Amino acid sequence: MAGELETLLNKKEHYYYENCPGCKVDLNKSSQTGLPIKELFTIWVVILGTALPISSLFPFLYFMIKDFHIAKREEDISTYAGYVGSSFMLGRALTSVFWGTVADRYGRKPVIVFGTFVVVVFNTLFGLSVNFWMAIITRFLLGFLNGLIGPIKAYAAEIFREEYQALGMSTISTAWGIGLIIGPALGGFLAQPAEKYPDLFSKDSIFGRFPYFLPCLCISLFSLAVGIASFWLPETLHNHDSRMPPQSSYETLEAASDTKDGTESAPKENLFKNWPLMSSIILYCVFSLHDMAYTEIFSLWAVSPRKFGGLSYSTVDVGEVLSISGFGLLVFQLSLYPLFEKYIGPIVIARVAGVLSIPILTSYPYIAMLSGIALSVAINFASMIKNALSISIITGLFILQNKAVDQRQRGAANGIAMTAMSIFKALGPAGGGALFSWAQKRLDASILPGDQVVFFVLNVIEAIGVLLTFKPFLVEKQNT
């Protein structure tokens, strides 16, 4: 060990500053033994609190737009639903780089705490929306003011020892995926409570007058608890006080050797010229467009009438499917994904998962022809596998992005990724809703009639993403 440390010190001298929060985290990492359960759980709940409101509206959005009486025809409801779904991502696209820069300058923790409380305020107001424009504005501000996703990815890359990096990134994508599944499940079970549970909720109560408020309130209360707990998060950003002399004892140098994130004097590189970073971000955008369009389309397809090729599911039925998918995703990501990543790497995982997703999506229009137990088994199995594959792709891209930059630029890099991804995710619901409305008007077409064209377009996007996982486009940064 002493020989390895001496070799490292000959390459680059490391210092420990007494009052630097990042240095304290590095010291703590050097003494860690065993699985970092506390850190994993912390990141899990922060991500979950942010992910839940993003898609919780999808099961009831069709009915919400219908209640607003803004759509002149039933076939147009999906188009307006897409606008509401896209407003969050549009707001986030405008400020993600700003929040990433703030996190690099002032710390990850302030952005995380502020973003969590933004969820509490604006997700609650969305549940109280009385018209289409109030829904649009509250969702837009929810995305515009909440910039914690980029910084929390940087935080996860910094709080864990190197051997737990894949598990840390898997925790983020798992919590994100679970949030995007449990959120709609909550929306499905808890929306319109006065109609579903008349013994518990009166039509004259606030939940009767605002039928979509209960799921938003429950998510906001969870985020409130997470926001309060976030005040005790350790800061991971290195903020050296130049007036304090650095220490260079053997123990602190050994601890600092766990960090590879350069010295204060090293010049920052131009992130847009960092091709390992930019290629992974572009690929991230393609798969994000696909995933957000799929999330919107799945719920619209499931609740749409049989005459339009849907399943005629209720919001509760959709919630049940997504709950089962969430459980399967949780088991897969915590048990199998870290093993796959260790032995075959994130790029191969993304490639294989993308290829396997195509036949699953192709089967959806044929699943709609089933009924009874056969339908239930088929749709639950397909949904569970599809979501596990999607999150595997996103996890691998998280790992590639954070490996491509050092700590001083990790917040900004993730901010760029979130901005680009948010633009594509804003296109996802809007495009998905418009595509779904168009498909319902061409049920008798000779080529790809009805919903078949919807899932064909999703497969085209997925196939493009798979092609981009190969060299020379996607390049993984090699450690030096």
Give pLDDT tens digits along the chain (480 positions). 444 444 333 433 455 666 777 677 777 776 666 677 787 888 889 888 888 888 788 778 888 888 888 877 777 777 788 888 788 888 888 888 888 888 888 888 899 999 999 999 999 999 999 899 999 999 999 999 988 887 887 787 778 777 676 677 777 777 777 787 778 778 888 888 888 888 888 888 899 899 999 999 999 999 999 999 988 888 877 776 555 544 443 344 344 444 444 444 456 667 888 888 888 889 988 998 888 888 878 888 888 888 877 888 887 788 788 778 877 877 777 677 777 777 888 888 889 999 999 999 999 989 988 888 999 999 999 998 998 888 888 888 877 887 788 766 777 777 788 788 778 877 877 788 788 888 878 887 778 887 888 899 999 999 999 999 988 888 777 655
The gap from C-alpha 313 to its chain's centroid, in whole angstroms, comes to 26
Residue 125 pLDDT: 95
pTM: 0.70
Residue 313 pLDDT: 86
Residue 213 pLDDT: 92
Residue 174 pLDDT: 73
Residue 18 pLDDT: 66
